[in-house]
Structure 1
């Protein structure tokens, strides 16, 4: 009767697994004040958005702005490649006109037919992602290839998800859910956030910072009329103040990109809130060169196409550090420092859908889930005790162990429990005794066949084992498929169901058997007390 053999190592294993489950489940019964001092690995299961309240956002990445930005970069590259770069190399300047972006296409017309071959070479080398077409009268058009757009779309969405994750982490929230939906949408669920408006402010800004020189050739009259030369753009002031310009003529060329920032912190200078920043080595070198070569000129600090400030360069700044002054409040300085630390979004995000779940609704969901779980557990216990007597009590104890191990596993993994997850636990409560029912019914059949108590128990565990494995593996496969192809609440249900199947198999096959074997060896009964 190998089924009833229970060596010491098996006893230790079963008790150790059950004990660990209880230990990891304990934080869920402890007050928050106690858990604040507990280690990170010994924390309760995280509650999802529907259980503790929070914010849900459906965001769309504006891919069109990225394509437009790449086309504008190509225009600047053509302006340099057809003009000043050739002059610097000692070649003749290529005469052109009508260079710009129109309806998603870069177009330029070469004036001199003799310069077409040289122009064609410059244009074809400007960007491999652009398809070049040559038309009549020396006109070239450049359009972005469809495969390049798709590749860029995927890169931008993946990068946006990472930046969104960094920004939310900076807010100090626990276990946010950030996942991709479709080609260009992102779902963000942040449980327990107290200020949903702050979340929207944090995610709504692209935070793309760059340093540009002002164009000294554009005077106040030109600014008022909106006249700027090619290679210059008009940008509004972020915080217009009396006596200061409300817009600036800024050179399109980026002197130093915000991509080189490695740190940003709010601080005070002359008792006013400012934001300090630090470049990496390459950025510090470029900032140093820019300030060395342009002493006396104004350097505009541009954030999301708005000029925060445009101080005059007094001298070379070569330490790799700087300070942004912009009439900040303490809160806005903190916000800007957070955004710069997390990094710039590669494209703007549009909020398509917004839902806020109040903590009161979450508490109602927890109470309803707890009531459903308790009621289901009570009905199962009553049925098992009524149908199987003493062995039903063993199954009830194994069920308690199963729930402890299940909750301990979820807590140890740092899983997020949602309302569908509670439904999975309720389902697990019902399924947990299925294996015991199969075993006990098989024992009753063997007893009716004239077997002894020990033989019937052995046959019950042995013959029911295959049916138990088949049934639970089928459910486990379904849980894995739900987790793989589902999203959000469906995956939460799949996690609790899958973990519940594994813990149910362990407690039914190992824990219940241990209790039955210990009872049999101590009592040595003549009949089985099964119903």
Structure 2
């Protein structure tokens, strides 16, 4: 009679078949398995990171912090400048009574810097250890940021991994057109370095005749408008930067043109509010990647930390820019060291070769089980088929990416799934040789085999979990398919086949053990 084990196995088999169909038939509807770079082609890039820019950016951030701290503590200072060539920040305080307060602030609030004071003039620079840490952070942050951007873009499991000490490997499957490739490259390479900078209203009238060197001597920079090319003279130390941004979304202005609305965190909102309060009547530039997107007049204090970027964007550009801002700016720009496109024809060849290996392995295993174990082998093969459908169904539901190593993991899982049934069948055959009844042999066979199967599968699952946690790209694909296969085989081999035996045991005849269990010398 039917039992709960058979019912569970039947539901698992139906579940596997139903949710595998979209992937097997490649139908338009339903969740499907995504093919990896090695199976469907795509984009492979090796990126380098400009660490010197990260160091310069960190120096600017330190200078901004100094300005904010002194303004907040009402310390009067002058000539705050940053030498971008050496990374040295200099300023002068005007009241010698503030020396003790300044020294305390610099020691307690700024990390990884050294400073010196001479006749009220201060000099600050990063320590050698902080410079090395900044370089390392730039690589690690670039990996996380690029991965976040590609995931938000909606790409299926792109590979983004650190390679060596200063390189980044990026693999994006499914990129087939030149337009898609260009869009992905721009999304990856965009620094998305947002700054709010004050306009130097006293000198901007001479900006068109001013050289970059002269602007630098005043502690300023000259940047151009992204649309009109108009030049702006901006104070080199930004009011705040994108590190204080918490969200960015696409919106529309009064003319129904796409704009980017972004929100600042608590500290950024306070700094922004305080700055606008003391700068009414002046202009503040919204700068992204060293280009001015707007420079509106400040009419009143702006609270709440909500700012808008407008720049005649298309919807596609606005969407990509919002992704870049949300995922964070790159501490340092990246550049392409190596690029190649993997054609889908190579993927088709890989799929064909892997499919042949999978089918051949499956057929040989099925044939061996039937020849050696008789009907017990047929039952094991039913469980094996259910196991394969479950793997495909679970991978489809989660939209997992199937790579060439992942297909190897499925082939390996076929062998491991059969291994559990081999152990069970051998235990049953041993008990039958001892003269025990079929019912007793089956129940004790499963009980005796369970510990060995459990130990083998759990240890393999632990290894697969470690591979998935610390591996990258194709290794993750192998670990994923193997993990799913192990858990599916535990269900099909231990629960499924046991239920089938309990269901059909009344039909078994002890005089036909050769037919049922392949025992030699029996009919």
TM-score, normalised to structure 1, is 0.78
Q: CA deviation at 1:527?
A: 2.4
Q: CA deviation at 1:204?
A: 0.9
Contact 2:465–2:479 at 8 Å: present in 1 too? yes
Contact 2:380–2:493 at 8 Å: present in 1 too? yes
Contact 1:110–1:138 at 8 Å: present in 2 too? yes
For residues 11-90 of structure 1, what are the structure 2 equivalents within 5 Å? 11-35=6-30, 43-75=31-63
For residues 475-486 of structure 1, what are the structure 2 equivalents within 5 Å? 475-486=460-471
Which residue number corresponds to residue 472 of structure 1?
Answer: 457
Q: CA deviation at 1:513?
A: 2.8
| TM-superposition CA deviations, 1:493-525 (whole Å, max 9, x none) | 122223322322332233223333333312434
The yes-or-no answer on 1:142 pairing with 2:142 is no
Give the whole-Å Cα distance in 2 for the aligned partners of 1:284 and 1:109.
Answer: 26
Give the whole-Å Cα distance in 1 for the aligned partners of 2:218 and 2:484.
Answer: 61
| TM-superposition CA deviations, 1:457-514 (whole Å, max 9, x none) | 4554444444434443443343334334432212221222233223223322332233
The yes-or-no answer on 1:228 pairing with 2:248 is no
Q: CA deviation at 1:297?
A: 4.3
- With over 3 angstroms needed to count, the CA separation of the structure-2 counterparts of 1:159 and 1:231, relative to structure 1, is farther
Which residue number corresponds to residue 168 of structure 1?
Answer: 150
TM-score, normalised to structure 2, is 0.79
Which residue number corresponds to residue 38 of structure 1?
Answer: none
- With over 3 angstroms needed to count, the CA separation of the structure-2 counterparts of 1:360 and 1:162, relative to structure 1, is same
The yes-or-no answer on 1:132 pairing with 2:132 is no
Give the whole-Å Cα distance in 2 for the aligned partners of 1:387 and 1:85.
Answer: 84
Give the whole-Å Cα distance in 1 for the aligned partners of 2:273 and 2:101.
Answer: 34
Contact 1:292–1:315 at 8 Å: present in 2 too? no
Q: CA deviation at 1:380?
A: 1.1
Give the whole-Å Cα distance in 1 for the aligned partners of 2:367 and 2:249.
Answer: 62
Choose which of 224, 249, 274 in structure 2 pairs with 1:237: 224
The yes-or-no answer on 1:428 pairing with 2:408 is no
- With over 3 angstroms needed to count, the CA separation of the structure-2 counterparts of 1:25 and 1:520, relative to structure 1, is same
Which residue number corresponds to residue 39 of structure 1?
Answer: none
506-515 or 176-185: which moved more?
176-185
459-468 or 392-401: which moved more?
459-468
Which residue number corresponds to residue 233 of structure 2?
Answer: 249
SS of the counterpart of 1:344? coil
Unaligned runs of 5+ in 1: 1-5, 36-42
Q: CA deviation at 1:329?
A: 5.7
Give the whole-Å Cα distance in 1 for the aligned partners of 2:475 and 2:27.
Answer: 28
Give the whole-Å Cα distance in 2 for the aligned partners of 1:81 and 1:476.
Answer: 53
Contact 1:211–1:299 at 8 Å: present in 2 too? yes
Choose which of 333, 342, 346 in structure 2 pairs with 1:357: 342
253-262 or 375-384: which moved more?
253-262
385-394 or 134-143: which moved more?
134-143
- With over 3 angstroms needed to count, the CA separation of the structure-2 counterparts of 1:134 and 1:380, relative to structure 1, is same
Q: CA deviation at 1:403?
A: 1.2
The yes-or-no answer on 1:388 pairing with 2:388 is no
445-454 or 296-305: which moved more?
445-454
The yes-or-no answer on 1:191 pairing with 2:178 is no
Give the whole-Å Cα distance in 1 for the aligned partners of 2:116 and 2:401.
Answer: 57
